[in-house]
Structure 1
Amino acid sequence: MKILIICHEHPPLGGGGGSAASRFAMNLAGQGDEVLFVTSTYKDMPLREQTDGYGVFRFDISRKNKFGCDIPELIRFGLRGKRFIDELFKDYRPDAIAAFFAIPSGYVARYASQKYKIPYIVSLRGGDVPGFLSRELWFYQFLATPLLKKIMGSAKRVFSNSRYLARLGEKTSKSEIAVVPNGFDTELYKPDFSKRPGGLVNILFAGRLVYQKGLDVALKAVSILDKTRFHLNIVGSGPLEGELKALAARLNLAGSTTFMGWLTKSELLKLYQQSHILVIPSRDEGLPNVVTEAMSCSMAVVGTNCGGIPELVENGVNGYVVEPDDIKAFSEKLGGLISDTDTINKFCENSREMAGRWSWADAANRLRGLINEH
């Protein structure tokens, strides 16, 4: 089958949505499908390349940031994407289109479907769902909702990566949304216990430094704990970086926290292998890749009861889930873990076992099944 994937981001650009789309592409191609991935370019990236068994075609949207797009850039992706499709389809026709993010990719897919009579499916990833991150995105989502209804209504199927996003999306689509969770890659992400120190517990946070991710909660939670028992490594950057570094200094965490900026995939893998506990204190989430990667590397997880996090973290099995912004509960769960090596080891073992239940190959098969539904 010839499958066209459309997403405004593709590694090394963007975040979890583009990364997930690329993993679907790689596994579909590995299973024999002919996959082409249309995305945006940045600086001197090649406009065409072959990677992991599939083709990547890029076009310019005057993108200014490697890690995310602003609203004008998303609009340009939609408008220029239509022109790009017209040029592409002069000598190429897929059997189906998979759009990751209803806006802007779903907008381009709907245009291609209506003009060239090709079915498309849409993957909801978070920010494209009204009600997700409503504090930051409510106005954008309010304006976009009429278009979102058309995009979802015209799609052959709509799917999300978590039950939470599916329920949220169904309020807009008024029809059933399938769930295709992100896969676990237990071959690439695997533990190496020789890298984990004895005595000191390594805690890891990885994500954008924005309000949604809740790092301020984690910093306040660990500031209550015995600082000789742990070290918190913080991977990522963002608009709140200066403010969060100042908060860490005020909380006397300079000696027990390290802000590391963004890391390469291989550098992050080594850090997973060196760490015991992942903290994900988010205020809203889809199905975060960082949790699936950490679980594959046999890490315990302390997260919040929001989005798809409780679909990955089972209380008392591979970690703990507390309510968002509950600093006291977050601190209590972390404190209990760093003083109980046996429980950490049990949670780490359970995470690795749970990661083996659903692979990216399984996810790709499910996506293909949605395309082939009658």
Structure 2
Amino acid sequence: MMADNRLKLLVTASTFPRGEHDTEPRFVLDLCKCLNKNYKVSVLVPAYPGCKDLEHIEGIEVIRYHYLPFNKLETLCYPGAIVPRIKEKKIRSLQVPFLFLGLAWKLFKIQTNYDVIHSHWLIPQGIVQSFFQHPFILTCHGGDIKALNFSVIKKLKYYALKHASQITFVSKDLMQFTEEHICKDKSIEYKSSVIPMGVDTTRFSPSFRINDYFTNDSKKTVLFVGRFAEKKGISYLIESMKNVPAHLVLVGTGPLDMQLKREASSAGISCQFMGAKSHEELSKIYASADVLCVPSITASNGDTEGMPTVIAEGMASGLPVVATRHGGIPAIVQDGVNGFLVPEKSSEQLADKLNKLLSDKTLYTLFREKAIQTAEEFSYDELAKKYREVIDKALSESR
């Protein structure tokens, strides 16, 4: 048996699938699978009630760290993201310091077994990692940069960014915000790059389409996929559908679930709430819809999107996109090429562009073809090449 000479890469994250068929976002897993061809990848993520401490998911070793004495109480991170779960139950905020400490203790015990560490999200992974003398890459996704920028937290963010070996941002907008509001001294320019999250083009394709999947009346379908949270701007999409003769399908769940159902009922539109779905189910849902709508907005607490992975998934499935000009979205949605961009919070312009796409077959076909081509540029195989360059830089600088 040949020895495995690959360098060891530890990936830390707070959002990660709990199993192969979980509905949690899997972009970190998909990237790890591609990087595993060149590095021996392990993933370190928080525990959840009933979890295994060590398991393999799709060939990737997954280590779960504990942060409370009783596993049944470790409910901060799943299902969904940390901030929405705290909003759902304020008492969960008491778990946050223990999450930091749990991660720090686990890293203290195991990080020397790895050549390099890749920390996804500044909070808590990047901040905790920055206090260890070990080469690490920090990937910033959006809300971890733009939200919670007050006194101590902002200083901790600066400290983490300054001590990272290399930094990647999922959008140019995010990198510019960081340089203008957190690292004003230009101390991170030389080690920063923009690499978005992407799509597994083998999992998403127009070939998965099922005709009349949502309705039996041949009505066109507008699709939204994502968490039901303020920054997703779903209320503006529901309002816009009053003037769009199409069926709206909303896939996901979250703190605004009941509010959005009331809004859809009050609007009197044709609307279907499908709940959270696994990626196997999503492949059929995307391909069976007609247009993907991503109406993201800046939330009241400053939270924003980086570059939503649903856009690349939708495009790979053959969907033109109508989205807001927000965060990193313009990096993938080219206005008038593979979709349309409109201002945030404009239900009127969302309706106008949706109607334009759904009523013009020639334009729709052109956008659809361009969308599929764009998705190829965002495949994880292509993005992994860029991440390998960044990882190799971090390793070479540490020697």
Q: TM-score, normalised by structure 1?
A: 0.89
Q: CA deviation at 1:242?
A: 1.4
Can you list the C-alpha shifts for 1:87-141, whole angstroms capped at 9, x where unaligned? 325xx521111100111001232233x2xxx211100011110xx3xxxx44x65
Q: Is the 8 A contact 2:47 2:65 kept in 1?
A: yes
Separation in 2 of the partners of 1:150 and 1:310? 30
Separation in 2 of the partners of 1:11 and 1:143? 31
Alignment partner of 1:271 out of 272, 280, 285: 285
Query: Which is further off, 334-343 or 95-104?
Result: 334-343
Alignment partner of 1:243 out of 255, 259, 268: 259
What secondary structure, in the 3-state scheme, does the structure 1 residue paired with 2:131 have?
helix
Separation in 1 of the partners of 2:23 and 2:178? 21
2:160 maps to 151
Sequence identity of aligned pairs in percent?
Answer: 27
2:12 maps to 6
Alignment partner of 2:42 out of 30, 36, 42: 36
Aligned residues between the structures: 354
Q: CA deviation at 1:249?
A: 1.4
Q: Is the 8 A contact 1:338 1:344 kept in 2?
A: yes
Task: Please tell me the residue identity of whatever aligns with 2:376.
Answer: G
Q: CA deviation at 1:317?
A: 1.2
Separation in 2 of the partners of 1:290 and 1:74? 28
CA separation of 1:293 and 1:12: change in aligned 2, threshold 3 A: farther
1:84 maps to 106
1:127 maps to 143
Task: Please tell me the residue identity of whatever aligns with 1:55.
Answer: E
Q: Is the 8 A contact 2:117 2:136 kept in 1?
A: yes
2:81 maps to 68
Q: Does 1:223 align with 2:214?
A: no
Q: Which runs of 5+ in 2 are unaligned?
A: 1-6, 68-73, 87-92, 298-303
Task: Please tell me the residue identity of whatever aligns with 2:35.
Answer: L
Task: Please tell me the residue identity of whatever aligns with 2:177.
Answer: L
Aligned positions of 1:1-374 closer than 5 A:
1-12=7-18, 19-29=26-36, 31-61=37-67, 62-64=74-76, 65-69=78-82, 70=86, 71-89=93-111, 93-112=113-132, 114=133, 118-129=134-145, 132=146, 137-138=147-148, 141-171=150-180, 172-173=182-183, 174=186, 175-176=188-189, 177-192=192-207, 195-197=210-212, 199-226=218-245, 230-253=246-269, 256-283=270-297, 284-373=304-393, 374=397
Q: Is the 8 A contact 1:5 1:35 kept in 2?
A: yes
Q: Is the 8 A contact 2:174 2:306 kept in 1?
A: yes
Q: CA deviation at 1:295?
A: 0.5
Q: Is the 8 A contact 2:127 2:160 kept in 1?
A: yes
Q: CA deviation at 1:247?
A: 1.2
CA separation of 1:75 and 1:248: change in aligned 2, threshold 3 A: same
CA separation of 1:126 and 1:15: change in aligned 2, threshold 3 A: farther
Q: CA deviation at 1:143?
A: 3.8
Q: CA deviation at 1:9?
A: 2.2
Separation in 2 of the partners of 1:141 and 1:48? 36
Separation in 2 of the partners of 1:12 and 1:74? 20
CA separation of 1:265 and 1:213: change in aligned 2, threshold 3 A: same
Separation in 2 of the partners of 1:208 and 1:109? 28
Runs of 4+ in structure 1 over 3 Å off: 12-16, 70-75, 140-143, 196-199
Task: Please tell me the residue identity of whatever aligns with 2:116.
Answer: A
Separation in 2 of the partners of 1:240 and 1:21? 25
Q: Is the 8 A contact 1:313 1:320 kept in 2?
A: yes
CA RMSD of aligned residues (A): 2.0
Q: Is the 8 A contact 1:101 1:125 kept in 2?
A: yes
Q: Is the 8 A contact 2:127 2:159 kept in 1?
A: no
Can you list the C-alpha shifts for 1:37-75, whole angstroms capped at 9, x where unaligned? 100121112110122332110012322441122344443
2:301 maps to none
Q: Is the 8 A contact 2:23 2:277 kept in 1?
A: no
CA separation of 1:302 and 1:141: change in aligned 2, threshold 3 A: farther
Can you list the C-alpha shifts for 1:174-233, whole angstroms capped at 9, x where unaligned? 32221111123211111127524494211101111121101110011111223xxx1111
CA separation of 1:165 and 1:74: change in aligned 2, threshold 3 A: farther
What secondary structure, in the 3-state scheme, does the structure 1 residue paired with 2:377 have?
coil
Query: Which is further off, 36-45 or 352-361?
Result: 352-361
Q: Is the 8 A contact 1:4 1:37 kept in 2?
A: yes
Q: Is the 8 A contact 1:224 1:331 kept in 2?
A: yes
Q: Is the 8 A contact 2:198 2:383 kept in 1?
A: yes
What secondary structure, in the 3-state scheme, does the structure 2 residue paired with 1:333 have?
helix
